[in-house]
């Protein structure tokens, strides 16, 4: 298994509609990204979140599936509009 965890600090230009759209588009990867077994997103509830208010978790069959996700057209389309609105952090590991 390969785990991908991410968090976003939203920039001031991000609206509630952007935040909702991000959650919806990320969740829509279920069943469309080969090798993606699970995807979960939501507000970061940790008091030690350092401003990262949105969090996500993805479980892939293996690292190669996660690598392919990085260049999948659906992911690239999300990044196209989302990247200007966030300060992201990512954590990846194999289990």
Confidence at residue 51, expressed as pLDDT on a 0 to 100 scale = 96
Average pLDDT over residues 74-82: 98
Give the pTM: 0.94
DSSP 13-77: T--HHHHHHHHHHHHTTTTTSTTEEEEEEEE---TT-TT--EEEEEEESSHHHHHHHHT-HHHHH
Beta bridge partners of 94: 2
CB 61 within 8 A of CB 38: no
Confidence at residue 43, expressed as pLDDT on a 0 to 100 scale = 97
Q: ∠ CA(33), CA(27), CA(2), 5° rounding?
A: 50
Confidence at residue 37, expressed as pLDDT on a 0 to 100 scale = 98
Using a pLDDT cut of 70, give the percent of the chain over it.
100
Confidence at residue 65, expressed as pLDDT on a 0 to 100 scale = 98
Confidence at residue 38, expressed as pLDDT on a 0 to 100 scale = 98
């Amino acid at each position: 298994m390969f785990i991908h965890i991410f968090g976003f600090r939203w920039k001031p230009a991000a609206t509630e509609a952007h935040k909702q759209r991000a959650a919806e588009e990320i969740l829509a990867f279920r069943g469309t990204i080969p090798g993606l077994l699970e995807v979960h997103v939501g507000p970061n509830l940790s008091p030690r979140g350092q401003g990262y208010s949105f969090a996500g978790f993805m479980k892939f069959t293996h690292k190669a599936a996660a690598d392919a996700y990085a260049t999948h057209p659906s992911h690239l389309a999300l990044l196209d509009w989302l990247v200007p609105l966030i300060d992201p952090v990512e954590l990846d590991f194999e289990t």
